[in-house]
A and B are shown apart, each in its own frame.
Chain A
Amino acid sequence: MRRVPATAQHALAAEYVLGTLRGRARQRFETLVQDDRELANAVRAWEDWLTPLSERVQPVEPPERVWRAIEARISPRAAAAPAGFFSSLGFWRGLGMALTVALVALLVLFPSAPPAPDKATMVAVLATPEADPRMVIERHSGKLMVKMVKPWADMPNQDLELWAIPKDGKPRSLGLVAYNKDSEVRLPNLDEKLAGTVAFAISREPAGGSKNPDGPSGPVICSGPIARTA
C-alpha cells in the first residue's frame, strides 16, 4: 500500500482525531493506519494531545440499562463471574465452546495418550482471543505442566507469566514459563495458589515478569477455563 508522505501524516492524523475527516476518507485512513506504524504514532500523538479537552465536559449519567446491556454482551472469557452467573445460558454456551476447543486440542495433541502413571487432575487449554489453542496446562501432584501447542515467536527482553484466575479476587502469579518449549511450575504453596482457580491465563511481560502484584502489566495473549477435573 502506498505510504502517506510524512508531511501529510500529521495533517491527516490531526483531522482524523479531531473528527473532521469523514465518510470514505475516514475509512480509507483507518485502513492506512493499520499498515503504517508512523501514521499510527501520529494518531496516538494527536489523541494524547486533544483528548484531554474532553475532560472538562460536564458528566451526564446514562441509564442503568446501558450497563445491563453491556454485561449481557460481554462473553465469559474466564472466571470472576458474579454469583448466579454460572447458571446463565451464556456461561454454559461459552463453556461449551471452550470445551470443544479443549477437546479438539487434546485429540490433536495426544491422539493416543499412553496411560500416564501420574495422571493429570486438571486440564486447561489456553487459546488466543482468536480461539487459536496455544498452550495446555495440566495439574499433576506437586506441579503444573505447561505444554506447548504452538511455540511463540522469539520475544527478546520479554517473559511469559502464568496466572491462576480464581472465581473471585485477583489473579495470582504462578511465575514465568518458557515461550518456546514445555515447562513445569513447582511452587511450595501451589495448592494454596490454585485454590478456587477456574481458569489460567498467560501474559507477555517485561523481562522478569509483571511489576504489578495484582495482575499482569502486559497483554494477555492466551487464556482458558479449566476443562476437566478428575
Chain B
Amino acid sequence: MTPETHQHLASLLARAGLGDRRAFEEVYRATHSKLFAVSLRIVRERQLAEEVLQDSFVAIWNHASDYAQAKSAPTTWMTAIVRNRSLDVLRRGAHEAEDVDEVMALNLVDESASPANDFDAGQDMHSVHECLKELEPDQRQSIALAFFQGLSHSELASHMRKPLGTVKTHIRRGLMKLKDCLVRHGTAEGRR
C-alpha cells in the first residue's frame, strides 16, 4: 500500500468520523478481506471471525474520529483493533494449532512475495521481515505461531513439544532481539 493509499484511507476515516457512511463503506471494502483473514487465523471459526469483523468495524466507526490521534498507519490501527478483538473472544484451549507453521515461518522471510500485493508494504514491513531473519529458528517460529495463530504460551509449548519455560524464553528473547534490530533500523520509534 502506497503512502497515497494510506493518505486516502486516513481521509476516508476522517470523513467516517463525521458520520459519512459512504466513506466508511469504502474503508470496509478496501480492508475487510485482509482483516477477516487476520481474525480467521486466530479464532479458527468462520462464525466467530464474522462476529469479530462486525464488532471491530462498529468500533472503528465509533472511534473513527479518534483515528487522527492514533498516529499509526490506518491499516495498523484497524488491524490492531481486529487482533485485540480476536484475542478477546478466543475460547482458550478450544483450538489446536494446525501444522502449517513451518511454512508460515518460512513465508515470513520469503523475499519473493510481491510487495505490490501487500496490504501495507512499507519501510516497517521490510524491517520486521529483515529483523526476523536475525532470530534463531525456535524464536522465529514461536513468535510467528503466537502472532498469526493466536497461540498462548501453553499452546505453543504443546505444539512445539517444549517445556513451557523454554517457550516463554524463546518468545521473550526473540522479542527483545527483534526490538534491538528494529530500533537499529530506526523504524517506528525514530518516526515519532
A residues adjacent to B (C-beta < 8 A) = 10-11, 14-15, 17-20, 22-23, 26, 44-45, 47-63, 65-67, 69-71, 73-74, 76-82, 85, 129, 163, 165, 170-171, 199, 201, 203, 212, 214-221, 223
Contact = CB atoms under 8 A, between A and B. Distances in A.
Contacts of B14: 212, 215-217
A49 B178 contact: yes
Q: Is the interface of B mostly helix, strand, loop or mixed?
A: helix
Contact of A60 (B33, B62, B143, B146): B33
B113 A45 contact: no
A60 B18 contact: no
Contacts of A59: 33-34, 36-37
B169 interface: no
Contact of B36 (A50, A60, A85, A170): A60
Contacts of A49: 124, 127-128, 178-179, 182, 187-188
A20 B146 contact: yes
A56 B147 CA distance: 13
B118 interface: yes
A15 B179 CA distance: 12
B19 interface: yes
Interface of B: 1, 11, 14-15, 17-25, 28, 32-34, 36-38, 40-42, 49-50, 53-54, 57-58, 61-62, 65-73, 75-76, 79-80, 83, 87, 92, 107-108, 110, 113, 118-122, 124-125, 127-129, 143-144, 146-148, 150-153, 156, 171-172, 175-176, 178-179, 182, 187-189, 191
B65 A44 contact: no
7 contacts: A26-B87, A53-B148, A54-B34, A54-B83, A57-B41, A61-B36, A63-B50
Nearest to B156: A20
Contacts of A65: 50
A19 B15 contact: no
Contact of B18 (A18, A56, A70, A201): A201
Contacts, number: 215
Contact of B19 (A15, A45, A67, A77): A77
A56 B28 contact: no
Given A50-B128, A201-B18, A214-B15, A58 B37 contact: yes
A10 B17 CA distance: 31
Contacts of A74: 21, 24, 58, 61-62
Given A18-B143, A66-B54, A47 B36 contact: no
Contact of A165 (B19, B28, B92, B113): B19
By Cβ-Cβ distance, the 9 closest A-B pairs, closest first, are: A78-B19, A48-B188, A59-B33, A55-B119, A52-B125, A77-B19, A220-B65, A80-B20, A62-B36
Contacts of B54: 66, 69-70, 73
